Amino acid sequence: MLLAVDIGNSDITLGLWKDQEWKFVWRVSAKPDLPELYYGIKIRDYFFESGTEANQVRTIVLSSVVPGLTEKIRNVVRTLFEKEPILLGPKMYDQLPLGILNPYEIGSDLVANASAAYFAHKKTCIVVDFGTALTFTTVSGEGVILGVSIAPGLRTAIKSLSQNTAKLFDVPLELPTSSLGKNTVTAIQSGIMFGYEGLVRNVVLKIKEELKTDCLVIATGGLSSQLVSLKDLFYSVEPDLTLDGLRRIGEWMNAQGK
């Protein structure tokens, strides 16, 4: 049994892999100011409620883009499972079958995304991750991360707009029926949702033009299903792609005896 832990800016996602599937996927808010005890209790309760014994976990792979949470969660995992997790980061990238540009500047979640795409397809892929940030990670069929593009995520854009503009407020992330907003809510939805549809299509087009080749475009992230109008652009929508990347990295490291 393998436990993958993805510490993102908004949530900590935990996936329990057994019998060739994700038996459970849990999420808890990522708040660096909360103590280790809080996260320890949450994770312990998840296992208790699922009827899973901690000693059944053989491998733990951890990715974090929140420095204030990395050691806290690492310590929690050590205590609960009595195992040292594989910490995905620059110090171990050279042990992976990937070519990574500027290893100290790329987020470990993006490396996990690229790993998942590479191991699964062995073709040039663009992974579009709809998270706190909207990221485009391009990996070649030979396993080389060719580059990354980053924009504010959908929720981040709406939150920024509502926090910095008088008389605007948070609105649901829903695709409106018309591009002509009739009130404040539909006006913001129109600008953000239709605007981001064009953003995603254009960035993917630019990448393909520069590479002069077709690519598999894979969508992931908690908001990957929000822009239904992009369905034709994506080869697949895989909400658990980052967890899959962490799993594949864990399996690779185990196979190499590392």
- The token duo for 143 is 């396993």
**Residue 159 amino acid letter:** K
Judge whether 6 and 109 are in contact, CB under 8 Å.
Answer: yes
- The tokens for 116 are 């998942």
Say if CB 193 and CB 175 are below 8 A apart: yes
Coil, helix or strand for 126? strand
Residue 124: which of 253, 224, 201, 210 has the closest Cα? Answer: 210
Residue 109 catalytic? yes
DSSP per-residue letters across 7-52: E-SSEEEEEEEETTEEEEEEEEE--TTS-HHHHHHHHHHHHHHHT-
Q: Two tokens at 42?
A: 């949450």
Q: How many CA atoms lie within 13 A of 139 on its CB side?
A: 27
Catalytic residue among 19, 45, 109, 240: 109
Question: Which distant-in-sequence residues (6+ apart) come within 8 Å of 96 by Cβ?
Answer: 111, 115, 249, 252
C-alpha 80 chain-centroid distance: 24
The residues annotated with a catalytic role in the active site are 109
